[in-house]
Structure 1
């Protein structure tokens, strides 16, 4: 996908502004479509849904709709949609830039360069965007705040409350597992996507580059991403809860394993799996289409 979009502009890589724009549109698009899955996943991971009460995703879906209506499925969406637009911009920019830089050395094969670039992208997006945005989203979901037209004021109110009661540092609580999760996410997602894309181009060239193919490959890369990074995601949610009782990532992991068993690290996998299968396909497809559109439009302007 990255190589294909880079060839669109007469062999040169997309401009920085194109990467940022395409990434932002891709991130916002997938969030709006898939957010209810994210909400259900987070609710299942919160401490209150621990040992004594483990409602299924379907039960949480029914109770959320019955008590808060359909808008309840988008509690905290404003925070995540805003951050995902920025996160996706940083992810694609950091990934493509890192890979271009690594390729100048000529010492890394394609898979290794993709893996290292994915890790770089994950670390960059974690520290700059994901950790504070995930903390804000978790608090808004935890408080059960259903948002409609007042989403911005709800987000602003939650920010003020966190700053007043806990200080700015609370937004970066859980940075370590977020970095682990996002580095794993990007490394596995980009590497799996490019391997599958290469296989399709080699075995079934007539299907390469199609929107439907990109969606399917993106969905498959999402499956691998979920299972590889789920433990980091579970620990992150616990640490960012307002009722956290843990002293860091290692303490949290040890207590979850001791009290709830190893399987607790994969609690909420089903809604996250559904979300990432959709979001991976949507993100890669929208990114590629926006890059193609902008690059084609730029060439048309130059001809005029």
Structure 2
């Protein structure tokens, strides 16, 4: 009986990167709206009269007002940073998740329950440190800069050069602690839910004699994992965004100071600002990413079968 070959690490890295790039491009408008919602709340207390008269009230209003005043391309401001970051992030996420999962396998070679959550936590922390923090900081600053009367960044490359020149490399690592906390929690919850539901559905399908899981099932499981992830990690996302804004250094002395000021000035529910567009994005992205990842892995495995090494 032939043993199942282990997927090469480059396969998980490639499949994850492709999935991340496609997902970021499709869902970016929701990310733009979510970031705008979180940034506008951050400056509300400084000029309440002005903000109440001019600030958009919700996701739809932000989209409509942005397109009307700045054009359709404005809702894609910061997309290049997001696509580059998401491509690398997803690649690192799936690659590191597989590595951690292999390390955490039990005596039967399985990774279930708490072990999957721990593998996801490790993957999230890894991607946050190497990819997410700089890409998210740049994306947030580009979006925030676009709200000013005289934007100082002329694009991704110019923005990065300006940020590094003014703040040093630390300028693109703003908010690293909440980013690592958010990504660790994101991946722990997402992979934990996905792995549990995936194993459950596969077991039922195999019991009924079905070997291949339909793409619609994978999309649905990924979407459910995305929904659960949103509401459990939203406060970390809000703090992350506020600490990466243009005026964050003047407003907050650190993570705990940021948390306290958000709670004091805006209330407990403000930690869930932007939940609706983030829910739209993560419910879609969960389905998109896992579906494309699984499809790409299937293609790579089939191509591998034609390799002379395995003929």
Normalising by structure 2, we get a TM-score of 0.88
Count of equivalent residues: 290
Among 216, 236, 239, which residue is 2:240 paired with?
Answer: 236
Q: What residue is the counterpart of 1:6 in the other structure?
A: none
Structural mapping, 1:47-62, within 5 Å: 47-48=41-42, 50-51=44-45, 52=48, 53=52, 55-62=57-64
Q: Is the 8 A contact 1:200 1:207 kept in 2?
A: no
Q: How do 1:9-24 and structure 2 match up within 5 A?
A: 11-24=4-17
How far 1:106 moved relative to its partner? Answer: 6.3
TM (norm. structure 1) is: 0.90
State the partner residue of 2:99.
97
CA distance in 1: counterparts of 2:230 and 2:181, whole angstroms: 13
Counterpart position of 1:301 = 307
SS in 2 for 1:289: helix
| Alpha-carbon spacing, 1:246–1:179, altered in 2? closer, same or farther (3 Å) | same
User: Residue 133 of structure 1 corresponds to which residue in structure 2?
Assistant: 135
Counterpart of 1:277? Answer: 283
For 1:202 and 1:291, the matched residues in 2 are separated by 20
Q: What is the CA deviation profile of residues 37-91 of structure 1, one whole-angstrom value per residue up to 9, with x for unaligned ones?
A: 0000000001555354462011101011112211111100000100110010100
Residue 24 (structure 2) aligns with: 31
Secondary structure at 2:5 match in 1: coil
Write the deviation string for residues 97-139 of structure 1: whole angstroms up to 9, x where unpaired. Answer: 1111111666996111101100100010001000010000001
Which residue is 1:223 aligned to? 227
Partners of 1:277 and 1:260 in 2: how far apart? Answer: 27
The equivalent residue for 1:250 is: 256
Using the alignment, how far apart are the partners of 2:289 and 2:254 within structure 1? 32
1:108/1:116 Cα in 2 relative to 1: closer, same or farther (>3 Å)? farther
Determine the C-alpha separation between the residues in 2 that align with 1:57 and 1:49: 17
Partners of 1:200 and 1:208 within 8 A in 2: no
Residue 197 of structure 1 corresponds to which residue in structure 2?
Answer: 198
From the superposition, tell whether residues 109 and 246 of structure 1 become closer, same or farther in structure 2 (CA, over 3 Å).
same
1:183 is matched with: 184
Unpaired segments ≥5 residues, structure 2? 148-152
> Is the CA contact (8 Å cut-off) linking 1:49 and 1:55 kept in structure 2?
no
2:150 counterpart residue number: none
Cα separation, partners in 2 of 1:164 and 1:12, compared to 1, 3 Å: same
CA contact (8 A) 2:23 2:289 kept: yes
More deviation in 105-114 or 125-134? 105-114
Secondary structure at 1:103's aligned position in 2? coil
Q: Which has the larger radius of gyration?
A: 2
Alpha-carbon RMSD across the aligned residues, in angstroms, is 2.1
Counterpart Cα distance in 2 of 1:115 and 1:104: 14
Q: Distance in 1 between matches of 2:239 and 2:300?
A: 39
| Distance in 2 (alpha carbons) for counterparts of 1:204 and 1:226 | 28
User: Is 2:45 aligned against 1:44?
Assistant: no
CA distance in 1, matches of 2:146, 2:99: 39
